[in-house]
Amino acid sequence: MRVRYVNAFVSLFLLCALEPGCGTQVQSTDNPPDVQFKPQQFQRPENCLPCHQRQYDELHGAVKSGYRNVSPLFNGLESAGNLVSGGLLRPVYHDSTIVLPDGTVLNTNMYSSPILTETRQVQAGFCFTCHNADVEILGENPALREVPQLAGLGTCNPAPPAGQQCFQPQQFRPLRDYIMVDSNGNQVLPTAPGGAPPNGAQPSLAAAGITCDFCHDENGPDLKRSFQMDGFGNASLLFNQSDVKVGPFQFPVAVKGGFHVASNNQSLVAFLTAGAFCNTCHDVRVPNRNLTAEEHNINQGGQNVSYFRLENLSTEWQIGPYNSTSNPFSQVVRCQDCHMSLFPYAGTSTYQVGDMTVTSPTPGVFATDYAAVPGVATDQDAPLPLRKVVEHYFTGVDVPLMSPAELSSRLGPNYPDPYATGADTHGVPNGLATRREDLMKAAVRISLKKSDTSAQLGQKFTVRLEAVALTGHRFPAGFSQERTAYVQLTVKDNNGFLLYQSGYVIDKPHPNTGEMTPDGNLNDEDLEHLHAIVDPGVHTATYTSGTGTNGGNNLVFEVGPDDGPDARVYVGAPEGLVLFRNELTHIFLPGQPIGRTDPSTGAAVTAQGVHFEETFQAALANSVDNFRSLQPLQPRTFDYEIELPTTQQMQAIGVTVQGPLHVHAQVNFEHFPPLFLRFIASVTSASGPSGNNLNLMDEQRIDTYLKNVESIASDDATVALTP
Amino acid sequence: MKIRYRYPAMILVALVVMLAAVFAQNQTYTPGEFQSTNPNYPKPDPFYFEGRIDWNLLGISQPQNAWDYMERGIHYQDDMDDIPDAIADYQTALSMNSLQNNTCQIVTAATVNKYGGTLPAQLTPAPCIFTLRLRLGYLLEQTNPATAIELFQEVLQIDPQRLGVNTLIAETYVSEAQQSTDPTTQQQDYANAVTAYQAELALSPITPQSVALTGDMANNSKVHWELAQVYEATGQNSLAESELESYMQATQWHSDDYPWRVALAKSQIQTLQMAVK
């Protein structure tokens, strides 16, 4: 090599090494990026199966993979949002002719908008973008489009331009209707909206949801899509549709037949293996004005896009102790260390949190295995090294609300049974339900040690419950305004007579969804702090968006006997339910209908002042309290000031209270509040705004599949009864 | 340096630097600066965040405004069990968010649209905070019931339909009545309590629609129980019996935090019926 070439080569290296942007930092680039490798369209995970069987099998049963896309809950929630807004949450594409009130054309969606400058751009594909960004990108090509743009987005008032129709709720289909194909790969739809899968229907690419390509085609964060320009939330992720796949390893082995090449871009490898990668989707910021916390898109031109924080998981981790070395493990504990490792099946650690001594599973322990199938995956059958590998189960708090047969009918044969028994070759249970339960049991600890040690009839005494979350984020997290963790607490005398209860449920009828008598099942019962029923709306001949006929407000909203959450948060009273669930709030402004009618006049009840009320329709929230959940590694003490009955009162009912008293506390996890599921059932029923039964949720499904996890942590205390 | 050594040396240096850079890349990843403002400190728009935010997340070294003082007061009350300091902070907060000195306002009008109405980003003076009043009022119930009731009534000015506030007013009157030795004052306190309890019940009425949706023939068992105790204390036995009947209906599908009250209510109804006869 001539000296001058060597010189140039060396200079290039030096320049590159000295240049901060060379390899050390991912630049936010326009999508699609300048692809240097062979283009390769997003693929189905089955294409990866021959060489990555284990990873395929694990991902197959992960809820973020196939299940989420056919989930009756996800589809119902997305439908409810669309039925109140006139379909605004469905994607639009480049060929859209929708004109916004300011005269601009709405032809980009949440993913394709270079900068999100209009609320309607964020709404366009709001749910679909995170769950199916790759399919939304492909949808720019009408031939590959799975989820169409709906006609007449918004409303009939004002009337749409000549030649265009109004939003037609009776034609509205849940997302899962669109994600089926025939044997030729052509889209097939159920006969009626929400109907059964047509004979021979197979899952489409969108049915696979978060696929291998979704993650391994990553091309760094898209800082311009994140509202704070930090790569957090709303699918702030760039994709590289090529045969280069980003994996976690240094020095990857050459792939057989050049099916793909493994990326050597160390910045992208580092991104994939960092919490930052998960951050791109695990904050969800809803484009509604938050009336109690002003936040807006800080990208240039984005100031009109305000938002509130629905899922705030990534921010919670980012600012929490596990994204530092100030935690019991003295090292950063990433998302991958709990949700892609052998956790919680790789031993335990004991440590101190405040004055609590905690023993819990150790994060960040990985199995040793081959990353691909030996003898199949490599060029010239080159030997594969044994490596520390990750699990692709992504276990979280969710299990399917569907039977294995239903799952297989929509997602292909042999869908994993969520309640399967046995364990895999790494010793991890096969059944998602088991993994979820074990994960939940690693999440929180409680102690009653600080409670009063004696009590007297006719007097008050105080139970002090200390609780600490061991999670990397707050507990619960994710859709934390509905995911429910709470304390069930009882005080009994020595004969088992119940003196006090909190966090209890009662078997009762649910006439609004057809359960006319108690059914013997407690998993479908709401906690007794609040009695609420949400208006499902009704179908009307001419559609008008909003809550008027489309529901969403509370038809019934009453204080229950165990109203600890509000009493504790707003009043500071030491009583009632300890609920770790966050809260979505609808702030009604003076004069605005709150959803109920005056029994004497029949007129709509309007807000007389500024009225705060919990809402279960996320699309109506304009405030959120994300601080009711437990902070990680920050113990909190909750007092229960309990009034014991007098001797005379007990005599009146023929009871002699015998000491000592026994206090039992346990933390339970509720998948979703039943009243929330009943709202989804009603709003997507034939009597709801669409006029069709979308076959997503009903009382039977709630009764069959809503399985709560009880006693993920517990403690007991004894209290002497003094004369 | 001779030329024959110069290039190998440069190559060596370049390789070392490059490898160091690659090694460094594997340790950390920075996709962009995490947002510069504290995501846990809400900027009112125009209403204050009502409720409690973990004090350690707020990053407040010295409270600057009513909301800051309120949050520190909550920290003292909930986390430190330091009630005197909590009261002091709540009182400071109240002095900065007060109807009396015009540092807060009751919002009574807004331009309402189908999604939620419109309001300017800032209101001058700022909206009154209800959490502050509820918290301070609760802590003053026993020691300064008159002030507690005033604070609760201000909350009803902010939001006349807020559940539970009338109950707090009623409980304060009952507490006053129980402490009073003057029969006239006592009767007036009990009468005020009854009025407040009934106002609470009126906010979540039983309607044909609610019965059809829930099957509940009564609700708010706590208020019915408390009302029965007031009527019994004032010798209004038939009203007490009626409230206990409502309590039984309200607890049919919901029980009670104190489940023995259900059996006791049944027993008391029998006793009252015998007394009426």
Chain B environment of A556 (Cβ under 8 Å): 204, 210, 213-214
- Which of B:33-62 have CB within 8 Å of A? 33-35, 39-40, 42-54, 56-57
pLDDT confidence bin for A318, thresholds 50/70/90: very high
The three-class DSSP label of residue B218 is coil
Chain A environment of B259 (Cβ under 8 Å): 498, 501
Q: Give the pLDDT confidence of A646-680 residue by residue, as tens digits.
A: 999 999 999 999 999 999 999 999 999 999 999 99
How far is the C-alpha of A490 from the C-alpha of A496, rounded, in Å?
10
Predicted pLDDT of residue A194: 97
Cα distance from A143 to chain B (closest Cα, Å)? 34
Question: Chain B within 8 Å of A514 (Cβ-Cβ)?
Answer: no
Asked if the model's pLDDT at residue B98 lies above 60, the reply is yes
| Residue of B17, B205, B268 lying closest to A14 (CB–CB) | B17
Q: Do B114 and A531 touch (CB under 8 A)?
A: no
Predicted pLDDT of residue B274: 86
How far is the C-alpha of A369 from the C-alpha of A374, rounded, in Å?
10
Mutation choice for B interface testing from A28, A123, A267, A292 by most B CBs within 10 A: A292
Predicted pLDDT of residue A11: 44
How far is the C-alpha of B11 from the C-alpha of A11, rounded, in Å?
9
Predicted pLDDT of residue B32: 80
Cβ within 8 Å of residue A174, ≥6 positions away: A75, A76, A78, A79, A193, A194, A684, A694, A696
How far is the C-alpha of A387 from the C-alpha of A369, rounded, in Å?
6
pLDDT confidence bin for A162, thresholds 50/70/90: confident
How far is the C-alpha of B39 from the C-alpha of B207, rounded, in Å?
43
Residue A233 φ/ψ, nearest 5 degrees: 85, 160
Asked if the model's pLDDT at residue A294 lies above 60, the reply is yes
Pairing between strand A661-670 and A484-492?
antiparallel
Chain B environment of A247 (Cβ under 8 Å): none
Predicted pLDDT of residue B28: 56
- Between these two residues, A154 and A330, which has the higher pLDDT value? A330
A676 has which bridge partners? none
Q: Do A622 and B116 touch (CB under 8 A)?
A: yes
- Between these two residues, A634 and A256, which has the higher pLDDT value? A634
Q: Give the pLDDT confidence of A171-225 residue by residue, as tens digits.
A: 999 999 999 999 999 999 999 999 999 999 999 999 999 999 999 999 999 999 9
Chain B environment of A499 (Cβ under 8 Å): 258, 260
Asked if the model's pLDDT at residue B81 lies above 60, the reply is yes
B127 has which bridge partners? B105
Question: Chain A within 8 Å of B77 (Cβ-Cβ)?
Answer: yes
Chain B environment of A567 (Cβ under 8 Å): 164
Question: Chain B within 8 Å of A386 (Cβ-Cβ)?
Answer: no
Question: Chain A within 8 Å of B268 (Cβ-Cβ)?
Answer: yes
Predicted pLDDT of residue A2: 46
Q: Are A248 and A277 a contacting pair, CB within 8 Å?
A: no
Predicted pLDDT of residue A32: 52
Asked if the model's pLDDT at residue B49 lies above 50, the reply is yes
Half-sphere CA count of B92, side-chain side, radius 13 A: 19
- Whole-Å CA distances, B97 to A518, A716, B54, B124: 49, 43, 21, 11
Pairs of CB atoms within 8 A across A/B? 297
| Minimum mean pLDDT range among A565-579, A639-653, B10-24, B160-174 | B10-24
Mean pLDDT of all residues belonging to chain A? 93
| Residue of A271, A318, A573 lying closest to B34 (CB–CB) | A318
- Global pTM reads 0.93
Mutation choice for B interface testing from A571, A582, A678, A682 by most B CBs within 10 A: A571
How far is the C-alpha of A486 from the C-alpha of A472, rounded, in Å?
19
Chain A environment of B17 (Cβ under 8 Å): 13-14, 17-18
pLDDT confidence bin for B111, thresholds 50/70/90: low
Q: Give the pLDDT confidence of A543-594 residue by residue, as tens digits.
A: 999 999 999 999 999 999 999 999 999 999 999 999 999 999 999 999 999 9
Q: Do A610 and B158 touch (CB under 8 A)?
A: yes
Predicted pLDDT of residue B231: 98
Q: Do A502 and B43 touch (CB under 8 A)?
A: no
What is the ipTM metric for this complex? 0.93
pLDDT confidence bin for B2, thresholds 50/70/90: low
Mutation choice for A interface testing from B27, B34, B175, B266 by most A CBs within 10 A: B34
Chain B environment of A267 (Cβ under 8 Å): 25, 29
Question: Chain A within 8 Å of B168 (Cβ-Cβ)?
Answer: yes
Q: Do A561 and B209 touch (CB under 8 A)?
A: no
| Residue of A24, A589, A608 lying closest to B116 (CB–CB) | A589
Q: Give the pLDDT confidence of B149-158 residue by residue, as tens digits.
A: 999 999 999 9
Q: What is the mean pLDDT of residues A524-544?
A: 96
Q: Give the pLDDT confidence of B201-253 residue by residue, as tens digits.
A: 999 999 999 999 999 999 999 999 999 999 999 999 999 999 999 999 999 99
Cα distance from A431 to chain B (closest Cα, Å)? 34
Q: Do A23 and B24 touch (CB under 8 A)?
A: no
- Between these two residues, A706 and B2, which has the higher pLDDT value? A706
- Which of B:183-242 have CB within 8 Å of A? 204-210, 212-216, 219-222
Mutation choice for B interface testing from A566, A610, A612 by most B CBs within 10 A: A610
The angle at the Cα of A508, spanning A505 to A514, to the nearest 5 degrees, equals 130
Residue of B nearest to A500 (CA): B258
Asked if the model's pLDDT at residue A19 lies above 50, the reply is no
Q: Which two tokens stand for residue B52?
A: 């409690």
pLDDT confidence bin for B12, thresholds 50/70/90: low
How far is the C-alpha of A150 from the C-alpha of A160, rounded, in Å?
13
Chain B environment of A591 (Cβ under 8 Å): 109-110, 112
Residue of B nearest to A572 (CA): B135
Predicted pLDDT of residue B119: 74
- Between these two residues, B108 and A367, which has the higher pLDDT value? A367
Q: Do A649 and B260 touch (CB under 8 A)?
A: yes
How far is the C-alpha of A288 from the C-alpha of A621, rounded, in Å?
8
Chain A environment of B222 (Cβ under 8 Å): 559, 561
How far is the C-alpha of A494 from the C-alpha of A501, rounded, in Å?
15
Question: Chain A within 8 Å of B254 (Cβ-Cβ)?
Answer: yes
Q: Which residue has the tokens 């160390």?
A: A266
Cα distance from B188 to chain A (closest Cα, Å)? 26
The three-class DSSP label of residue B276 is helix
- Which of A:75-134 have CB within 8 Å of B? none
Question: Chain B within 8 Å of A557 (Cβ-Cβ)?
Answer: yes
| Minimum mean pLDDT range among A18-27, A225-234, A345-354, B42-51 | A18-27
Question: Chain A within 8 Å of B26 (Cβ-Cβ)?
Answer: yes
Q: What is the mean pLDDT of residues A122-126?
A: 97
Q: What is the mean pLDDT of residues A138-166?
A: 86
Predicted pLDDT of residue A164: 74
Where helices occur in B141-259 by DSSP H, the ranges are 145-158, 165-179, 183-203, 208-214, 221-233, 237-251
Q: Give the pLDDT confidence of A372-406 residue by residue, as tens digits.
A: 999 999 988 899 999 999 999 999 999 999 999 99
Stated as kind and residue range, the H or E segment containing A372 is: none
Cα distance from A263 to chain B (closest Cα, Å)? 14
Rg (chain A; Cα; Å): 27
